[in-house]
A and B are shown apart, each in its own frame.
Chain A
Amino acid sequence: MLRASPGGERDHPHFTCRAPPRQRGACLAALRLCEQRVDQLLQHTLNALILGGTYALLGIGLTLIFGIMRVVNFTHGELYAFGAYMMYLWVMLAGMNFYLAMVLAVALGVLLGGAIELVLLRRLKGADIDTTMLVMIGAWIALQNLEQWTWSGVAKSITAPFPATPLVLGPISVSWNRLFVFVVASVLILATHALINHSKLGKAMRATFQDRETAALMGIAIDRIHTATFALGSGLAAAAGALLGPVFVAYPSMGDLASLKAFAIVILGGLGSIPGATAGGFILAFIEELGAGYISSGFRDGMGFLLIIVILIVKPTGLFARRERIG
């Protein structure tokens, strides 16, 4: 009934309706509805792509720490919250330049991560995974409540120096702030990939990941690699928090969901796999965005957990892990 007509007609710019005149109204209404649906889908896809960047950052940080150190890092989400609160502190309270504050927030996240490793984990070397998990749970509770005590339970909003009017691309629109988040997240993801694959530190990290003892025999300072790994992973989490803090708001328990989502991403991609975590971040974002859009927005945050459960039933090693990596 419909035929594309690039020239356009009076009823519709792109299509000609060849239905009998009596049905023409219904035909056009169906066409408009169809277009709306396609626009909606495009908008959801764009949103997912932008959210996926930060999810991937979170996942890469966690998977690095797990893969190299064999530590189930429950403080990951707290580092994420830390990044957001540092943005609040420097931008809103100290009045610092937005971009400078972001660099500072990430740097402080790296320092905090390094400190956690030095103080809490260094002395647990050789302990089994359950013991370190308990220590990390303790650290998580302590950190989160310190945050709540310092900043109070009220959510803090952070203003970003971007125009309020969104960028409109045909039928879909995106805010400048989210675009900025996506660009920075992509750059950080690529930088991490480059660091792991093309630097001396990255080579040492990969060696430690493959075989800790042999790496130590080859003269790699395992302790230092662990500190660097934890600091790097924490820095990535803090970066995700610093990026998303201005988009949403900063509140004390924001780290819980971030931790759990990071776990979901890491399981999705296979524990210890960086490309897996990158893909996992985007997949989770798509599932959440589409689930919230088409099934129920109340269960938005539940999609990730359902996903974990399904993945573990169907393919427990994750979608991208080549070999068994069960901790």
Chain B
Amino acid sequence: MKRAATIVLLAALISLPLWISSLYVLHILIMTGIFIIAAMSLNLLLGFTGQLSLGHVAFFGIGAYTSSLMSLGFEVHLLPSWQVGLEAKPVWLAMLTGVLLAGMCGWVIGRLSFKVRGAYFVIVTVSFAEVVRLVALNWVELTQGPMALNNIPVLRLGIPGFFEFAFLRKPANYYLVLAVGALAYLMIRRLVHSRAGRAMIALRENEALAASVGIDVTRYLVLATFLSAGIAGAAGALYAHYVRIVDPEIFSFIYTVTMVIMVITGGKGTLAGPLVGGLMFGLLPEVLRAFSIPPEIQWVIYGALMILIVYFLPEGIVPALSRFWRGRRQQDDAAALALKTEPSP
């Protein structure tokens, strides 16, 4: 039953560009997909280790900026007389570097801030994102500041000399995002069901107890931050080479909030949660736009929804739904059992 549902879902996702011809709809789906990947990375941290990162957009933006700069090449003066430059590199290499650098930043932030936790971690991550935004805005020689990085090359894959494929058109980008998303999903699933994942969940549930049975708290938290930041960086790199323009707006706090809302609504700590929440909040702006609701009111609705969900569905949609299904199946089973055991007349 569950496997059948998965296959149907996968088939629908893969065949989507075949029966949707509207480029606009495809664009919305690609952007939603990128944000779902980012939300999945946030869920790894928030859902499975219980640490809320409110600066997740920093990792997303670092991935985007690193990948763009590597693929464009740059020259900067670190000191007035000391110039550092880099030739333009192939896009796949640039994207990998972006992922790695974002992961490294996550590692550093994790190392620094997991001595303290809870509210402190939240504030450190917020501060980090703000510092990174200011660097992107003010280091004009490297990042072009508010003038933005333009003409970012698209991803090209292939064997040099034989054939080459450019991810230029929307269906190709859709499949790229889908592939990266599936990869991230499988990676997170593998991790969560592994020894390390169980250690993380144990930490979330009861840190003192987990530490007492020998789980190295800092190590697993830093590992989770590293992976989470890396996946967010991958989402950022996808974004940069799809949209092909990156400016400091990418670090807007509102993007982090979008990711948090997606995870909370869908259900933190569940694998499907970010998918469901991401689809909802990726497509909701379009629905609201159809009713010609101004964007400010859209955000007011987001905020109100977030509060309502915390009150009434504190675990999110996915756990609530699965409990509902399980409950119904148990009722059915009980009814069947009652029928069977009824004495025949």
- Chain A residues with CB under 8 Å of chain B are 66, 72, 120, 123, 129-131, 133-135, 137-146, 148-149, 256, 260, 263-264, 267, 271, 296, 298-299, 301-302, 304-306, 308-309, 312-313, 316, 326-327
Interface residues of chain B: helix, strand, loop or mixed (majority): helix
Given contact pairs A256-B253, A263-B126, A301-B134, a sample of 7 additional A-B residue pairs in the complex whose CB atoms are under 8 Å apart: A120-B307, A135-B307, A145-B300, A263-B127, A309-B112, A312-B116, A316-B115
B144 at interface (Cβ–Cβ under 8 A)? no
Query: Which B residue's beta carbon lies closest to that of A152?
Result: B296
B165 at interface (Cβ–Cβ under 8 A)? no
Of the A-B pairs whose beta carbons lie under 8 Å apart in the complex, a sample of 24, sorted by A's number, is A129-B118, A130-B50, A130-B52, A137-B257, A138-B305, A139-B307, A141-B254, A141-B257, A142-B302, A142-B307, A146-B296, A149-B294, A263-B123, A271-B119, A304-B127, A305-B128, A305-B131, A309-B131, A312-B112, A312-B120, A312-B124, A326-B118, A326-B119, A326-B120
Contacts of B264 in A (CB 8 A): 134
- Establish whether residues A138 and B310, one from each chain, have CB atoms under 8 Å apart when the complex forms: yes
Rank and list the top 8 A-B pairs by shortest CB-CB distance, nearest first: A142-B303, A138-B306, A141-B303, A305-B127, A298-B138, A149-B296, A145-B299, A138-B307
- Establish whether residues A306 and B131, one from each chain, have CB atoms under 8 Å apart when the complex forms: yes
Given contacts A137-B260, A312-B113, contact A302 B303 (CB under 8 A): no
The answer, among A123, A143, A302, A327, for a CB contact under 8 Å with B130, is A302
- Establish whether residues A134 and B300, one from each chain, have CB atoms under 8 Å apart when the complex forms: no
B297 at interface (Cβ–Cβ under 8 A)? yes
- Establish whether residues A260 and B307, one from each chain, have CB atoms under 8 Å apart when the complex forms: no
- Establish whether residues B127 and A134, one from each chain, have CB atoms under 8 Å apart when the complex forms: no
Interface size on B, residues (CB 8 A): 42
CA–CA, A237 and B297, complex, Å: 25
Query: Which A residue's beta carbon lies closest to that of B55?
Result: A305
Min CB distance A132 to B, Å, is 9
CA–CA, A130 and B260, complex, Å: 12
Min CB distance A180 to B, Å, is 30
Min CB distance B269 to A, Å, is 12
Min CB distance B141 to A, Å, is 13
CA–CA, A271 and B118, complex, Å: 13
B247-263 to A contact mask, C-beta < 8 Å, 1/0: 00000011001001000
Contacts of B135 in A (CB 8 A): 302
Contacts of B253 in A (CB 8 A): 256
B137 at interface (Cβ–Cβ under 8 A)? yes
B288-323 to A contact mask, C-beta < 8 Å, 1/0: 000000101101101111110011001000000000
CA–CA, A129 and B134, complex, Å: 29
The answer, among A66, A140, A256, A301, for a CB contact under 8 Å with B303, is A140
CA–CA, A137 and B134, complex, Å: 22
Contacts of B296 in A (CB 8 A): 145-146, 148-149
- Establish whether residues B304 and A133, one from each chain, have CB atoms under 8 Å apart when the complex forms: no
B219 at interface (Cβ–Cβ under 8 A)? no
The answer, among B113, B115, B123, B134, for a CB contact under 8 Å with A299, is B134
Q: Name which of A140, A141, A142 has the most chain B CB atoms within 10 A of its CB.
A: A141
Contacts of A141 in B (CB 8 A): 254, 257, 299-300, 302-303, 306
Contacts of B119 in A (CB 8 A): 66, 72, 129, 133, 271, 326-327
Query: Which B residue's beta carbon lies closest to that of A326?
Result: B116
Min CB distance A112 to B, Å, is 16
Min CB distance A150 to B, Å, is 9
B328 at interface (Cβ–Cβ under 8 A)? no
B26 at interface (Cβ–Cβ under 8 A)? no
- Establish whether residues B124 and A309, one from each chain, have CB atoms under 8 Å apart when the complex forms: yes
CA–CA, A316 and B123, complex, Å: 12
Min CB distance A85 to B, Å, is 14
CA–CA, A72 and B54, complex, Å: 13
CA–CA, A308 and B260, complex, Å: 23
Given contacts A140-B303, A312-B116, A326-B117, contact A133 B123 (CB under 8 A): no
B245 at interface (Cβ–Cβ under 8 A)? no
B122 at interface (Cβ–Cβ under 8 A)? yes
Min CB distance A268 to B, Å, is 11
- Establish whether residues B116 and A146, one from each chain, have CB atoms under 8 Å apart when the complex forms: no
Contacts of A123 in B (CB 8 A): 311
Min CB distance B114 to A, Å, is 11
Query: Which residues, 189 to 216 on B, are CB-close (under 8 Å) to A?
Result: none
CA–CA, A137 and B138, complex, Å: 28
- Establish whether residues A139 and B112, one from each chain, have CB atoms under 8 Å apart when the complex forms: no
- Establish whether residues B130 and A301, one from each chain, have CB atoms under 8 Å apart when the complex forms: yes
CA–CA, A133 and B51, complex, Å: 12
- Establish whether residues A308 and B294, one from each chain, have CB atoms under 8 Å apart when the complex forms: no
Contacts of A260 in B (CB 8 A): 126-127, 130
Query: Which B residue's beta carbon lies closest to that of A131?
Result: B310
The answer, among A138, A148, A306, for a CB contact under 8 Å with B304, is A138
